[in-house]
Amino acid sequence: MLIVVSPAKSLDFNTPVRTRRYSEPLFLDEASELVRGLKDLSPDELQELMHISAALAQENCQRFADWHTPFSLKNARQAIFAFRGDVYLGLKAEQFGTADLNFAQKHLRILSGLYGILKPLDLMQAYRLEMGRQFIVGNSKNLYAFWGSRLSDALAQELQAQRQKRKILINLASSEYFSALNPQALNAEIITPVFKDWASGQYRVLSFFAKKARGEMAAFIIRQRINSPARLKEFAVDGYAYAEEDSTRERYVFKRKQ
Question: How far apart are alpha carbons 236 and 220 in whole angstroms?
Answer: 9
Predicted confidence (pLDDT) per residue in 84-130, tens digit: 999 999 999 999 999 999 999 999 999 999 999 999 999 999 999 99
Q: Which of 2, 30, 13 is nearest to 129 (CA)?
A: 30
For residue 258, what pLDDT band results from cuts at 50, 70 and 90?
confident
pLDDT, position 192: 98
The mean per-residue pLDDT over the stretch 198-220 comes to 96
**Burial tier of 163 (Cβ tally within 10 Å: 0-12, 13-18, 19+):** exposed
Question: Percentage of residues in the chain with pLDDT exceeding 90?
Answer: 97
Q: Which of 69, 70, 89, 72 is nearest to 12 (CA)?
A: 89
The mean per-residue pLDDT over the stretch 220-246 comes to 96
pLDDT, position 57: 97
- Amino acid at site 42: S
Predicted confidence (pLDDT) per residue in 134-180, tens digit: 999 989 999 999 999 999 999 999 999 998 889 999 999 999 999 99
Indicate the pTM of the whole model: 0.97
For residue 18, what pLDDT band results from cuts at 50, 70 and 90?
confident
Question: Percentage of residues in the chain with pLDDT exceeding 70?
Answer: 100
The mean predicted confidence, pLDDT, of the chain is 97
Predicted confidence (pLDDT) per residue in 57-77, tens digit: 999 999 999 999 999 999 999
